[in-house]
Amino acid sequence: MFPPGDPKTPHVVADFPIAAPRIRDVMPQLRELLRDNPALRQKLFQVEFLSTLSGDLLITLIYHRALDNRWEEAAAQLSKSLSCEVIGRSRKQKCVLGRDWVTEALSVAGKEYRYRQPEQCFTQPNGGINEQMISWLLSHCPLAHTDLLELYCGVGNFTIPLAGRFRAVLATELSKRATEAAKYNAEDNDADNIEFARLSAEEMSAAMAGERPFRRLAHLKQPLGDYRFSTLLVDPPRAGLDTATLALAAQFDRVLYISCNPETLNANLAVLTDSHEVSALAFFDQFPYTAHLESGVILTRL
């Protein structure tokens, strides 16, 4: 690592206590195995880790060279030695030795939820804090006979636990792989009142406004106009909500806003508080000892 403001002076990190236990345990083992094996070490420039509370671990090794049979044999032995999944990546190449996903297991309000989390799909990085985030949202969602619209649903992290509080849920996500995983996760958790659509937030805003039809909504069991939406859940990227989505949010009785960027959240709240008031606020420290902060806001229509 390099200290802030000093990119030329390396700082050796011998331990990483805030990492997930499996990642922390495997890092020194992996380093030694890579050092001792030229087939794995040659032109390796990045290592990515994905771990879950269930104990699953996936390691992605990224190279500046093509991967061959020699690499695949060595990576298979590495996977066996570390009891984890291994993926190799290089330019226009992806080598999956076992599976390219891990299973997360979350315990929320006395119930366990299981999620398939594919490599390179967005997922909540801190399992323990994620459980607290879901619990907090559930505490502010009493049982309702209306429907929930969710934007940026990812693999269904919030969608599935919250589905039990609503008559029906329509959840949207732009990523094809994340949408496929969300559908699998809903079925695996017996959440049968959820429909998923592969749309961006901007496209869903246009559909809700009746500006244009979308074939990617044609599979819905009921027409879009038949939903009785009362609550909107959003978990946008760092850029926050766009103008069209802010206008859409203003039409809902309640807005559940999960944010990873306090600055864009503050800018969005300056608009949303024209139509809503903040009824609950919480902060979740997913990345200890960093400036990153996750926020949760419940907005109620004035």
Catalytic annotation present for 260: yes
Identified catalytic residue from 104, 119, 131, 294: 294
Buried b (16+ CB within 10 A) or exposed e, 66-84: ebeeebeebbeebbeebeb
Nearest to 258 by CA among 147, 132, 144: 132
Catalytic annotation present for 211: no
Identified catalytic residue from 95, 260, 263, 277: 260
Cα(14)–Cα(32) distance, integer angstroms: 13
Cα(178)–Cα(157) distance, integer angstroms: 11
3-state secondary structure the chain: CCCCCCCCCCCCCCCCCCCCHHHHHHHHHHHHHHHCCHHHHCCEEEEEEEECCCCCEEEEEEECCCCCHHHHHHHHHHHHHHCCEEEEEECCEEEECCCCEEEEEEEECCEEEEEEEECCCCCCCCHHHHHHHHHHHHHCCCCCCCEEEEECCCCCCCHHHHHCCCCEEEEECCCHHHHHHHHHHHHHCCCCCEEEECCCHHHHHHHHCCCCCCHHHCCCCCCHHHCCEEEEEECCCCCCCCHHHHHHHCCCCEEEEEECCHHHHHHHHHHHCCCEEEEEEEEECCCCCCCCCEEEEEEEEC
- Active site residue ranges: 260, 294
